[in-house]
Amino acid sequence: MTAGQQQTVFVTGASSGFGAAIARRFAADGALVIATARRTEPLATLAREFGPNILPLALDVRDRTAVEQAVAGLPTPFSHVDVLVNNAGLARGLQPAQRADPDHWQQMLDTNCAGLLHCTRAVLPGMVARGRGHLINLGSTAGSYPYPGANVYGATKAFVHQFSLNLRSDLHGTGVRVTCIEPGMSGGTEFSTVRFDGDEATARAVYADMQPLTADNIAAAVHWAVSQPAHVNINTIELMPVAQSFAPFQIHRTPTRGGPGEVVGSGTGGAVPPAHPSAARLPGRQHRQPPESEDLPASPH
């Protein structure tokens, strides 16, 4: 975009969390925003807040035909999408793979991977034809760093990361930019409530006694990437709260009688066991400061 031109920004999952904050950030900047999600009431609230610069649109990204029709039927002045923010996504459950609900897995694959593909494929031809555009994909640190129970969720975000890089290859010479935004723990959204099936107490416990990233932090990162000069492509932005960092590999040790050759553990990073077994089913369990000489509060998982 050249300076001063009004951008058209298509945001998926704009009914809450990052998507709502991203829609607000761009609308506040004077952009035209197509705000989409399955729930329409929060989108209507956005439209009331910003007036005709927001187009609320009910859309389930899993429905390829609906996505194609929505993009093809965008009314003037929203019809030429400059920025697609592929934000709609979710985690369901935190069970180990052997106990996870296959329906949860399917929903994550359908939303985080297939839904993102449907939206991308629908807007890309227009962007390429116009010789400009920007795809913003919401990945996650969970796509790069494993944690117990992240199994399919993390894998969908690894998909988003690699698809973003592969898009850059395909779009070589078209002027279309691609950025993958990869946040760590972020609070104030519905992410954990959805993951834990509406269990608010468990969702709140994820962020207890630490300061997570906020949806506004993510919106600022997206806005910054989009605001770079047209010749600059930000490939990836990985951001985490200061309170979250990395921990050693976990090592499963099997007590032995000490016979020769019975190596029970290896690796230089594995000397420290997880903070507390009871916390092992919460993501980022290592980052909470335990009370003095106290274990972490027991997790319901």
132 binds, among ligand 8X3, ligand NDP, none (CB under 5 to 8 A by kind): none
Instruction: Please identify, using beta-carbon distances, which residue of 170 and 246 lies nearer to ligand 8X3.
Output: 246
Query: What is the smallest separation between the CB atom of 184 and ligand 8X3, expressed in angstroms?
Result: 6
185 binds ligand NDP (CB under 6 A): yes
Window 90-109: residues binding ligand NDP (CB under 6 A): 90
> Residue 163 is which amino acid?
F
Binding site for ligand 8X3 (CB under 6 A): 140-142, 150, 184-185, 283-284
Query: What is the smallest separation between the CB atom of 191 and ligand 8X3, expressed in angstroms?
Result: 6
Determine contact, residues 27/50, Cβ cutoff 8 Å: yes
Query: What is the smallest separation between the CB atom of 171 and ligand NDP, expressed in angstroms?
Result: 22
205 binds ligand NDP (CB under 6 A): no
284 binds ligand NDP (CB under 6 A): no
18 binds ligand NDP (CB under 6 A): yes
88 binds ligand NDP (CB under 6 A): yes
Q: Which of 145, 147, 153, 207 is catalytic?
A: 153
Instruction: Please identify, using beta-carbon distances, which residue of 164 and 189 lies nearer to ligand NDP.
Output: 189
Residue 147 a catalytic site member: no
Question: How many residues bind ligand NDP, per CB under 6 A?
Answer: 29
Window 58-77: residues binding ligand NDP (CB under 6 A): 59-62
Chain residues in the site for ligand NDP (CB under 6 A): 12-13, 15-19, 37-39, 59-62, 87-90, 111, 115, 138, 140, 183, 185-186, 189-191, 194
Q: Which residues are catalytic?
A: 153
